[in-house]
């Protein structure tokens, strides 16, 4: 998926994003696909001074996330956080109403309005459809598109 602009994330931002993603995945129990996405993001973003991926993800403190603490973040970082959290929610194949509500609350805490949140949601959904549209089974692709549209 190509939903986010390129940006250099500080170690603190990587930790904040990872914690936010873990909080979304924890809403209905972390699924293997969600864990894989979160682990891949952290591993590809961390530097040598940061804990290893296994150490960070197994630390109970990594599951403690407070979106209110991110108030005043740049708009670019807020957009990235919301997009990453929506991708995390969809990683297991479905963004549950509880996950959507959780991400929407984060977006609000970060100052994103409803229209911006909906635009991000549509962007992630479109990227998901684009990722599977090359599959030869058009009926299955159409079924996934209907499911994504109905779930939201």
Listing DSSP states for 2-25 in one string gives: --S---PPPHHHHHHHHHHHHHHH
Tell me the C-alpha to C-alpha distance, in Å, between residue 7 and each of 14, 45, 53, 76, 143. 11, 11, 21, 9, 35
pLDDT value of residue 128: 74
- Cα–Cα dist 38/84, whole Å: 9
pLDDT value of residue 126: 80
pLDDT value of residue 3: 42
pLDDT value of residue 81: 96
pLDDT value of residue 75: 92
- Cα–Cα dist 54/64, whole Å: 17
User: Which residues touch 125 (CB under 8 Å, ≥6 apart)?
Assistant: 90, 148, 149, 152
85-88 long-range contacts, CB within 8 A, separation 24+: 85/20, 85/21, 85/23, 85/24, 86/120, 86/121, 86/124, 87/1, 87/3, 87/37, 87/124, 88/21, 88/24, 88/25, 88/34, 88/37, 88/38
pLDDT value of residue 125: 86
Q: State both tokens at 49.
A: 């001074």
pLDDT value of residue 7: 64
pLDDT value of residue 114: 95
- Cα–Cα dist 84/18, whole Å: 9
Residue pair 117/104 in contact by the 8 Å Cβ criterion:
yes
Answering whether pTM is above 0.85, one says no
**From the first residue on, what is the mean pLDDT of each consecutive set of 10 residues in the chain (152 residues)?**
59 94 94 93 94 92 86 91 94 91 94 95 80 54 52 53
Domains in the chain and their CATH numbers?
11-151 (1.10.3680.10)
């Amino acid at each position: 998926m190509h939903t986010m602009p390129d940006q250099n994330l500080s170690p603190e931002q990587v930790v904040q994003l990872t914690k936010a993603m873990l909080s979304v995945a924890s809403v209905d129990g972390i699924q293997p696909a969600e864990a894989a996405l979160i682990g891949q993001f952290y591993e590809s973003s961390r530097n040598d001074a940061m804990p290893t991926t296994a150490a960070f993800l197994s630390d109970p403190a990594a599951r403690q996330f407070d979106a209110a603490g991110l108030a005043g973040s740049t708009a670019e970082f807020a957009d990235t956080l919301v997009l990453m959290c929506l991708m995390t929610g969809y990683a297991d194949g479905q963004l549950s109403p509880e996950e959507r509500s959780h991400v929407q609350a984060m977006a609000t805490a970060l100052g994103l309005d409803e229209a911006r949140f909906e635009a991000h949601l549509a962007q992630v959904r479109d990227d998901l459809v684009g990722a599977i549209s090359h599959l030869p089974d058009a009926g299955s692709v159409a079924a996934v598109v209907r499911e994504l549209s109905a779930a939201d």
